[in-house]
Every structure is written in structure tokens, then in C-alpha cells.
Amino acid sequence: MLNDVKAGFTFVYDPESKVTDSNDGSSSTGRFITIRVSSGKEIRTKEEFIKQMAEVACLSFGFDPASDKGKAIKDIVKSDAFIDAVCPDGYKPWELESGGFTDEATKTLLGEDMKQQRLLGKAPKDPQPTEGKRTAQVLNSFLNHLGDRDEPMVTVATVGRHGFNALPNHPSLDRLKGKNPTETAENVDKYLVKKGETLKNTELSTERAAWLFDQELDNAIENCDSEFEADLVNGARTHRPTDKMKPEAVNRAIKDAMATYYDKLARKKANAWKVKEESEGRAVTAEDLNKKKTTLEGGYVTSRENRAKSALIRDMGAPEFVIADTNWGGPGDKTLFVIAPDPTTGEPIMWKKTLPPGSLRPAGRQWVDDEWEQIS
């Protein structure tokens, strides 16, 4: 019967399935759905799981589902004892984890045959490597373990966070692959680390720096709160580059030009939040209000910095090494994991690249600090 159950079910990734919680911190939609192979029936509820499992069991034993023996099988399948036995530790085949190819989804497909191979252990905390050094370690480990694989996709995971499809044969990785780990490390240093240092120290012409600055400010003004538009216009006039600039200085000029606008916008939004909270009977202290304002302002600034860095990467021709498809996105878009230098610091970091339009934003160092493993 066990083999019949394994053969009777599979799963598919549904990018539009809404989720309420995700391990990866990014997935508002997208989860794996258990599917009955013979009918394609989606199993999204406990009741449907019981029904489909009972049918598979009856077929395995050769019982008519409408017979007394068939009904007895269904009674067993829907019993608490059976559900507890096949769904340990909160595992629910009808409600798989969100955010990618997780242990639960793998368990559904492979059962006890699932194998996990460590690619790189969790980053040490004392001493903690820099994000750039750790990112290079992740890339080297990725290439050394998976670089000679023939498959276009290999299932990997950042343990406890997210499962996704590695792309070991993406063309961007070709120049990094060496004949041995030493040669691979030399290539990573040459084409990623050293290139990042060069980008960081590149002086952009006055015209080029001003053009990049104008692109960001024009976009901000076009989409701003009109109440504070004058602050953006004044910021653009005050901080527009008038001399050669390195990438970090361009990014800082953009940030400084928008500082007053974001301060006022965050205060306005925080005050509106306070009114809403109090209208619903929740008290808001001055500390609460200030914390909300700080959080909002930080989010605005980070989002704009990410846009500026993405523009710098694109304009300066920074190398981008695609390592994985994240499994995030919908029918019309997807998000890749890409390793590229941060042009303002020179350090390699991991980015999330959304296609279309090709925009980049930092993934966050928690991704490279995690333990990485291959699942098969």
C-alpha cells in the first residue's frame, strides 16, 4: 500500500495560492499543492485529503469504496489515530508550507527516500565573517558541489527558511567554474571580488552622476505625495552632483536630496496610523508614534537606496551571477537569486532580481548566513 500511496500523489507549485505565513519572509502568494495523480484533484482541505487517501487505499486493497470494507477503510483514514500517525509535528499534506520547495513538500514526494547533503554550514557568529566574504563562500561552495551537474535545476534549501531551484548551468556562471576548487576560488576573486573593488572606486563623470541622480529624483517626484513635492524639488536642486562622484557618493546624494521629504511623509503616515489605532480603541503613546514614524521612514529610505543601487549596477555593468530561481512570483514574473557586487561598498552580496523588469534589491545577509543543503 505504501508504494501505491507514493505513486498516487504528487505536488505542483501554485504561484497564485495565497498564504498567511511563510518561512522565507517574502511569499505572500505561492505554495506547493498536493495533487491526486489519476484525477489531478487538488487537495486543499483535510476532508479532501481523507477522501482521496481512502480511495487510494481501497484501490490498493481491491475494495469497492461503497462496500462495507471500503467504508471501514474510510473510517480508519479519518480517525484521529491515523491522522496523527501520518501527520506528525503539525505536518499537513493539505496545507503545505509556503515559500518554495520545503521539507514538507519534499517529504510528500519522496517520503523516507529524501536525502539531504550539506553544501555549506551555518556562518559562525564569533568571529562573524563580513557579508561579502560569506557571500563569496556561498558562491564557491555552490560551484564546487553543483557546478558539474548536468541537470538544469537542482533542489536546494537554506535550512529552516526556504527551498528553491538552483541553476548550476546558468550561462552567467561559466567563467567562474574551474577545474578544481582552487581555480574556482581564483575565478570568483577575479570576476566578482576584484570587480566589486573596481566598481566601488570608479569615479563617474559629472554628467553621468547627474544623470543617475536625475533618474531617481524624477521618479520620486512623479510618484510623490503632492503635499511635500516642493521638498523633493528643493532637494534635487541642492544635492544634484556638480563634480565627479564615486557610486557611494551618488547614492548618498540621492538619499540626502530626499531626506526632508521622507521625514515629513513618514510623520504624516504615522499620524494617520495613530488616528486609526485610537479610533479602534488602542492607545498610542508618544514612543509608539515615534517608533512607527522611524520604521516608516527607514522603509522609504531603504527602498529608494535599493532602486539607486540597482540603477548603478545596471549602468556600470556590474557582473551578475544567477544561482537560483526562488520559486517566488506569478504567471507573468519570477524572482531569481543573483550574486553581484554592491557598487557602493564593493562587497559581493546576494540580490533578488525580479523579471520583468530586471530590478534588483538586496536579499539580506541572513540568506547567506544560513546553512545551505541539497535535497534529492
The pLDDT tens digits of the residues spanning 288-306 come to 999 999 999 999 999 999 9
Top-confidence residue, 343 or 30: 343
Max Cα-Cα span within the chain = 87
Top-confidence residue, 15 or 367: 367
Q: Packing angle between helix 229-239 and helix 206-222, nearest 10 degrees?
A: 180
Q: Say what the pLDDT of residue 101 is.
A: 43
Dist. CA 263–CA 363, nearest whole Å: 25
Q: Say what the pLDDT of residue 363 is.
A: 94
For residue 220, the surrounding DSSP H or E stretch is helix 206-222
CB atoms inside a 10 Å sphere around CB 184: 20
Beta-strand ranges (E) seen in 311-371 are: 321-325, 334-341, 348-355, 359-362
270 grid coordinates: 504615522
Percent of the chain with pLDDT over 90: 61
Q: Say what the pLDDT of residue 59 is.
A: 86
Q: Say what the pLDDT of residue 8 is.
A: 72
Domain boundaries, the chain: 1-99, 103-201+318-375, 206-313
Residue bearing cell 547614492: 251
Top-confidence residue, 61 or 124: 124
Per-residue confidence band for 100, with pLDDT thresholds at 50, 70 and 90: very low
- The SS3 call for residue 265 is helix
Percent of the chain with pLDDT over 70: 85
Q: Would you give the DSSP letter of residue 89?
A: G
For residue 267, the surrounding DSSP H or E stretch is helix 247-279
Residue 349 pairs in a beta bridge with 340
- Asked if residue 342 has pLDDT above 90, the reply is yes
Q: Say what the pLDDT of residue 98 is.
A: 52
- Asked if residue 85 has pLDDT above 80, the reply is no
Dist. CA 270–CA 253, nearest whole Å: 26
Compute the average pLDDT of residues 320-339: 88
Q: Say what the pLDDT of residue 233 is.
A: 97
Range with lowest mean pLDDT among 101-110, 265-274, 343-352: 101-110
Q: Say what the pLDDT of residue 97 is.
A: 54
pTM for this entry: 0.73
In sequence order, the 6+-apart residues with CB closer than 8 A to the CB of 307 are 216, 219, 359
| Cα–Cα distance list, 7 to 3, 53, 88 (Å) | 6, 12, 21
Helix ranges, 62-113 (H): 68-77, 80-86, 103-110
- Asked if residue 197 has pLDDT above 50, the reply is yes
Q: What are phi and psi of 371, to 5 degrees?
A: -75, 135
- Asked if residue 336 has pLDDT above 60, the reply is yes
